[in-house]
Structure 1
Amino acid sequence: MGKKICVVFPGIGYHSDKPLLYYGKKYMSENGYEIVDLKYGKLPHGLENAFAAGWDVVIPELDSIDWREAEDIVFMSKSIGTVIAARYAAEKDLDVRHIYFTPLAMTLKYADGHGIAFHGTADPLADTDEITKLCAAKNIPLYRYKGGNHSIETKDILWNIKTQKDIAEKYIDYLNF
């Protein structure tokens, strides 16, 4: 049996110790996945600049992985990380299952249909109608959370906890199909 790899692509200020990635990473680890927890260091301002700098930082680490040894590859990504994850999988022609937390419009330029996406409707970095159309065009199921910001959170802590549970149930179902 080959190994299972989960690569975690954080956002600019949303690292893997924050809820979406923390619980996702924990689930993957408990289910036998080797975790590759990427770090970008300090990124410049602006999405395009941050993407380019993040890309340059993680490519050597990703290229050092022997993907042929992997029986299953999951890319769990957040925000700018969704763009890097989708582009890397496309350029390397990897068979990857994606979990996209708050994807950006740029992400869907590279994404194939192998994924699931989560979006807060009050996300200032991603227009709900645009993300909905782009995900539909790529056959990526999109789960929208009314009033959720770019972290899929609101000021209501109980809503946040309930939403984290719902999101986890959906990606667990996706992974275990």
Structure 2
Amino acid sequence: MNIEEKSLIVNGQALRYTHITQNNKTICFMFSGSGYTYEKPLLYYSTLNMLQNEVDVIHVHYSYSKNISFEEIVNAIGTDVQAVVNNVLANNLYTQRIFLGKSLGTIPIIQKFMNNEAFTQDKTILLTPLLNIHSQYERLKSITSKGMIVIGDKDPYFDEEKILYLKQHTSLSINIIPFANHALEHHSFDVETSIKNLQSTIHLIDSFIHSKTAAH
């Protein structure tokens, strides 16, 4: 296994990313949350699961000022992520692609890739997407690609009505973790249940990346 720290200049700023490679044919582009980094349990074990399944991994290390608007963050993260994806695909011979995002990291997946004809055959994994943000939910309603959502019913971004609509009107695989918060941990700090939630989420990811089609 080879781990390379790389950077690109995007809009005059250096953007770092990590390329973890075993010379596999499939690549997973992984996008963290604003405070939920790649060392946190969901993304750490998602990375190990990809490597176990002979999938190379990209971690994009973006950060944004709290002084800019949400729309500015949406535009910036989309530009940053697109630049990394384009660079990696231009310089490596990957035949399959997976996109996995947590919270803030689901935004560029929804905005840039899920309804992009060039990526409609790729699998997308949305951990705790921001369903209460109108632009994100509206885009999800029209998704036709192979996507999976994992969210807790105690997550402040969880919306039962919106989840029901996505279940009934899209081909997205919807997975709800009972009593789980935005970190997919038990909302009342039950450690054993939180560990079980992590295990369940990794099993869902593992099954999804092996599936030929996304479950409805």
Match of 1:72 among 89, 96, 119: 96
* 2:125 match: secondary structure: strand
Moved over 3 A (4+): 43-49
Contact 2:122–2:145 (Cα < 8 Å) also in 1: no
Greater relative contact order, per chain length (Cα 8 Å cut-off, separation 6+)? 1
Match of 1:7 among 14, 19, 29: 29
Letter in 2 for 1:65: V
In 2, the alpha carbon distance for the partners of 1:18 and 1:87 equals 24
Structure 1 residue aligned with 2:151: 119
Match of 1:164 among 178, 198, 203: 198
Query: Structure 1 stretch 58-67 or stretch 96-105: which is displaced more?
Result: 58-67
In 2, the alpha carbon distance for the partners of 1:65 and 1:107 equals 28
More helix by share: 1
TM-score w.r.t. the length of structure 1 is: 0.87
Equivalent residue runs for 1:1-177 within 5 Å: 3-44=25-66, 47-66=70-89, 69-89=93-113, 90-91=115-116, 93-94=118-119, 95-105=121-131, 106=136, 109=139, 111-154=143-186, 155-177=189-211
In 1, the alpha carbon distance for the partners of 2:146 and 2:138 equals 12
Contact 2:24–2:55 (Cα < 8 Å) also in 1: no
Contact 1:104–1:131 (Cα < 8 Å) also in 2: no
Shift of 1:108: 5.8
In 2, the alpha carbon distance for the partners of 1:107 and 1:70 equals 30
In 2, the alpha carbon distance for the partners of 1:79 and 1:115 equals 15
Contact 2:124–2:148 (Cα < 8 Å) also in 1: yes
Instruction: From the superposition, tell whether residues 108 and 102 of structure 1 become closer, same or farther in structure 2 (CA, over 3 Å).
Output: farther
In 2, the alpha carbon distance for the partners of 1:157 and 1:47 equals 33
In 1, the alpha carbon distance for the partners of 2:55 and 2:180 equals 29
* 1:5 match: secondary structure: strand
TM-score w.r.t. the length of structure 2 is: 0.73
Query: Structure 1 stretch 33-42 or stretch 158-167: which is displaced more?
Result: 33-42
Shift of 1:70: 2.2
Letter in 2 for 1:97: K
Kindly provide the CA deviation profile for residues 76-108 of structure 1, in whole angstroms up to 9, marking residues without a partner as x.
111121120122223362121011101223056
**Which has the higher Rg, Structure 1 or Structure 2?**
2
Provide the aligned C-alpha RMSD in A.
2.4
Query: Structure 1 stretch 39-48 or stretch 122-131: which is displaced more?
Result: 39-48
Contact 2:32–2:102 (Cα < 8 Å) also in 1: yes
More strand by share: 2
| Identical aligned residues as a percent | 23
Instruction: From the superposition, tell whether residues 133 and 46 of structure 1 become closer, same or farther in structure 2 (CA, over 3 Å).
Output: farther
In 2, the alpha carbon distance for the partners of 1:145 and 1:163 equals 7
Letter in 2 for 1:165: Q
Kindly provide the CA deviation profile for residues 98-144 of structure 1, in whole angstroms up to 9, marking residues without a partner as x.
11101223056054340211011111123232133234422111111
